[in-house]
């Protein structure tokens, strides 16, 4: 009997994370959903096509909570086959106007959260010589942008971390992917979804399909970077 693959997705309560969670659920994976708000996750799973999922409320910026939650995830559902580091937050203003709290949140969640979660799965993946880590970075990790200085700084950090662990696992069968995409039509940009024809924002449904297709395990192939730009 084939073992059900186990995927962990952070920031799964909305936007791209929610779309990925739903699609992997449809593909038959056991999906462990992580988000800061349990109610959002519970609402999301009502639309799932099967009951192979688990919900964990977690702030990925708190190391002790990340460690204990991942220990529980593995205890409940077995080793992690795929980790998608998707949790992120952004505040946009001129560099001198960004507040201390906003700076801390972006560095703590976007960068340190990605590091903390990756640390929890790397040892097991190396021991089993199997597994994938998919870091959702954004094009803000490729180039500086006006009013996005600290957001870009956090994402450049994730890019450096992603490229470094890719080299650390070069002699294994692990797969490390950095996803660099432009603006998506999600609540990240405000409470209301935008008119995609007017804004040029990309659909998270399309982005999720591209990520899933390009990160599937294929013999002798690894795709370390996937860049998706607005047309």
What pTM value is reported for the model?
0.93
Q: 6: closest CA among 37, 38, 28, 34?
A: 28
Q: Which two tokens stand for residue 139?
A: 């094009």
pLDDT tens-digit profile of 194-205?
454 545 688 999
Q: What secondary structure does DSSP assign to 40-92, as a single string?
A: HHHHHHTT-SSS-EEEEE--TT-HHHHHHHHHHHHHHH-S-SEEEE-------
Q: Cα(190)–Cα(196) distance, rounded to whole angstroms?
A: 14
- Residue 185: predicted pLDDT: 65
Supply the residues annotated as catalytic.
151
In what side-by-side order are the strands of the sheet with 132-136? 53-57, 30-35, 6-9, 82-85, 132-136, 175-181, 225-228
Return per-residue pLDDT of the chain as tens, 231 residues: 457 899 999 999 999 999 999 999 999 999 999 999 999 999 999 999 999 999 999 999 999 999 999 999 999 999 999 999 999 999 999 999 999 999 999 999 999 999 999 999 999 999 999 999 999 999 999 999 999 999 999 999 999 999 999 999 999 999 999 999 987 665 554 444 445 454 568 899 999 999 999 999 988 888 999 999 887
User: Tell me, what's the pLDDT at 189?
Assistant: 41
Q: Specify the pLDDT at position 190.
A: 45
Dmax of the chain from CA atoms?
Answer: 58
Q: Is 135 helix (H, G, I), strand (E, B) or coil?
A: strand
19 closest CA partner among 5, 6, 33: 33
Q: How far is CA 138 from CA 155, 158, 166, 227, 228, in A?
A: 7, 10, 18, 8, 9
Give the domains, in start order, of the chain with CATH numbers: 6-228 (3.40.50.720)
Buried b (16+ CB within 10 A) or exposed e, 73-110: bbeebeebbbbbbbbbbbbeeeeeebeeebbebbbbbb
Q: Using alpha carbons only, what angle is made at residue 13 by residues 139 and 224, rounded to the nearest 5 degrees?
A: 35
């Amino acid at each position: 009997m084939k073992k059900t693959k186990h995927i962990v997705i952070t920031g799964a309560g909305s936007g791209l994370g929610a779309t990925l969670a739903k699609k992997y659920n449809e593909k038959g994976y056991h999906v462990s959903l992580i988000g800061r708000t349990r109610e959002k996750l519970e609402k999301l799973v009502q639309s799932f096509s099967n009951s192979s999922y688990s919900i964990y409320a977690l702030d990925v910026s708190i190391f002790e909570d990340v460690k204990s939650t991942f220990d529980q995830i593995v205890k409940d559902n077995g080793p992690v086959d795929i980790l998608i580091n998707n949790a992120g937050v952004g505040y946009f203003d001129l560099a001198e106007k960004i507040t201390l709290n906003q700076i801390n949140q972006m560095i703590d969640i976007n960068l340190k959260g990605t590091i903390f979660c990756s640390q929890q799965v790397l040892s097991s993946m190396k021991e089993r010589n199997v597994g994938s880590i998919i870091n959702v970075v954004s094009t803000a990790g490729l180039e500086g942008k006006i009013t996005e200085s600290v957001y870009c700084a956090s994402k450049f950090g994730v890019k450096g971390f992603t490229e470094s662990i890719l080299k650390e696992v070069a002699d294994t069968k692990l797969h490390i992917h950095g996803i660099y995409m432009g603006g998506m039509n999600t609540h990240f940009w405000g409470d209301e979804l935008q008119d995609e024809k007017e804004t040029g924002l990309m659909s998270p449904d399309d982005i999720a399909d591209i990520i899933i297709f390009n990160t599937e395990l294929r013999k002798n192939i690894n795709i370390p970077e996937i860049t998706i730009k607005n047309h």
